[in-house]
Amino acid sequence: MARAKKQPFERQDKETEKAFEAFRIYRELGSERSCAKVGEKLGKSSTLIERWSSRWDWVERVKSYDSEMDRKALKQEEKKRRDMATRHANYATVFQQKVLERLQNLNPAELSTSDMIRWFEISVKIERLSRGEPTEISTLEHGGEVTQNHEHSFDEDIEKYAEMYDRIRDKKT
């Protein structure tokens, strides 16, 4: 049965325990890595540490180690983002159900004009978002020969619909 290939940052075949211990210290020093610091920490000469570093290719091995740690950290962050998105989607679904239950029992005649405006504004934004459209429409000017100005006021629309709603409600009462 074939043995799995060792990672460069693991103890290598024929690498002594002491040399690997020195490498681990070097590896864990991060951006502060130096053979001199490893020598100080182990009470060994810089010459010996530099010889081990050269023989066992510490610089390349720590590059591999750093890349692996970065890859694992990114993978972990990606999982956390996915978990968060799932959790938030679940919360949103539960909350939507509660809102829909409440809306079914809501008497529109009990809502003020400002309540109706707010509900309309929210529903328009939700519809626009779900269709992939922006929720705000703003002015865009081009510095070239052509200037275009697009304006739309949801507030005016909301006021129109609120007035229409008030008229309908007044006719019913």
DSSP 72-112: HHHHHHHHHHHHHHHHHHHHHHHHHHHHHHHHHT--GGGS-
**How much is the pTM?**
0.52
As a whole number of angstroms, the distance between CA 14 and CA 73 comes to 31
Mean pLDDT score, 62-68: 95
How large a percentage of the chain has pLDDT more than 70?
Answer: 82
Mean pLDDT score, 143-168: 67
As a whole number of angstroms, the distance between CA 93 and CA 9 comes to 46
Point out the least confidently predicted range of 12-26, 31-45, 113-127: 113-127
